[in-house]
Amino acid sequence: MTEADARLIAETARAIPALDEAAGAAARARQARLTKPPGALGRLESLSEDIAAMTGRDRPRLEHRAIVVAAGDHGVAARGVSAYPPEVTAQMVANFLGGGAAISVLAHVAGARLRVVDAGVRGPTGDDPRLLRLRIGPGTADITEHPAMPPEHARRSLAAGIELVREEHDTGLDLLGLGEMGIGNSTAAAAIVAAVTGLPPRSVTGRGTGVDDSHYAAKIAAVEAALARHRSVGGDGVSLLASLGGYEIGVLAGCYLAAASLRVPVLVDGLISGAAALVAAAIEPRAARYMLASHLGVEPGHRATLEHLGLRPILDFELRLGEGTGAALAMNVCLAACRLLDEMATFDEAGVSDSDQATAPED
């Protein structure tokens, strides 16, 4: 399976196309003819143009929307880096499926189907048919002492994300949002951000679930120890994932690669979703062309991630929940931007004089 997974990852990365500049230009030309002053809709205009270039459609509709939430446990949680016990990961998976979580509500508001994935949860997650039970491993090892996972597990998680998005695309997929759940995963994500950006651990490590000072100190110490333990990780995405990541991070990174290969815009959520984006971009930098930053989270590592990827956030709502909540909210903005581009009338269609045609009023 390892060789097949490696081939799938490489083939998917090679398949990522250039942006469709002609579609983007056509969208800009239509924006210039719509019944409004030039630039009056601000970033909604450029957002729709960007999505046109990604999708290759000059009037994208984004009819089919999905959000993937991948869950996994982390051995580093034993270091006291979270305010919640590890069993919360499995409990929240049940909450996602039961409709009681924030992302359950916001996915419904966005008109997006919600796919919940057990990528590597340590505890039992039941046999709900709506749950994709990958169970690549029973949570990661403690990254302060060991690699997070074997390389073959890293490749399997990436390949599983690719396979998932391909399946979703077969049923219709125009816009994808990515979220996660996993006690301890903001520590792993901070380590990935520090490793990729070269920034000091303290500058990219936040309080995650809202930990107190003692837990925060333990979290920074864990990130520092993980980086010292894996200082030779380099820029290879698979090695980065295997050394510092999580099973859910790997699945999401595979989703980014597959979405890009299929011309599907994908919304980056918070810190952990952003760390997965860094892994995907380390495997194939062109994947970042198809990423949209849904929001700017309060975690310092999130800002560093978006800056590294060259992404400008759509929203700034001081979110720090994860789960894909920011992606779901921004999904509505993307839909509105594209509907405005497609459904607003041009000056000619509406019979309205534009600024070049208007004549000065008589005295």
DSSP 17: P
Of residues 358 and 265, which shows the higher confidence score? 265
Model pLDDT, residue 357: 47
Fold adopted by 65-338:
Rossmann fold (3.40.50)
Is the pLDDT at 363 greater than 70, yes or no?
no
Q: Using 50, 70 and 90 to split pLDDT, how confident is the model at 356?
A: low
- What CA–CA distance (Å, rounded) separates 30 from 38? 11
pLDDT in tens, 205-263: 999 878 899 989 999 999 999 999 998 886 799 999 999 999 999 999 999 999 999 99
Is the pLDDT at 355 greater than 90, yes or no?
no
Structure tokens, 223: 């990130």
Model pLDDT, residue 208: 85
Q: Using 50, 70 and 90 to split pLDDT, how confident is the model at 361?
A: very low
Model pLDDT, residue 210: 83
Please state the rounded mean pLDDT for residues 134-149: 97
DSSP string, 119-178: EE-SS-----TTEEE---SSS---TTTS-SS-HHHHHHHHHHHHHHHHHHHHT--SEEEE
DSSP 362: P
Structure tokens, 138: 């029973």
| List 318, 323, 343, 362, catalytic entry | 323
Domain boundaries, the chain: 2-59+342-350, 65-338
pLDDT in tens, 308-338: 999 999 999 999 999 999 999 999 999 999 9
- What CA–CA distance (Å, rounded) separates 344 from 341? 6
Q: Is 21 a catalytic residue?
A: no
Q: What percent of the chain has pLDDT over 70?
A: 97
pTM of the complete model: 0.96
Model pLDDT, residue 233: 83
Model pLDDT, residue 360: 38
Burial classification of residue 99, based on how many CB atoms lie within 10 Å of its CB (0-12 exposed, 13-18 middle, 19 or more buried): exposed
pLDDT in tens, 160-207: 999 999 999 999 999 999 999 999 999 999 999 999 999 999 999 999
Identify the CATH class of 2-59+342-350. Answer: mainly alpha
pLDDT in tens, 73-101: 999 999 999 999 999 999 999 999 999 99
> Of 14-28, 59-73, 96-110, 229-243, which gets the smallest average pLDDT?
229-243
Please state the rounded mean pLDDT for residues 26-46: 97
The mean predicted confidence, pLDDT, of the chain is: 95
At CB < 8 A and 24+ separation, what contacts does 218-222 make?
218/79, 218/80, 218/81, 219/79, 219/81, 219/186, 219/187, 219/190, 221/79, 222/76, 222/79, 222/81, 222/143, 222/144, 222/187
Structure tokens, 231: 């200082």
Model pLDDT, residue 359: 39
Q: What percent of the chain has pLDDT over 90?
A: 93
Question: Helix, strand or coil for residue 257?
Answer: helix
Residue listed under structure tokens 């909210």: 329
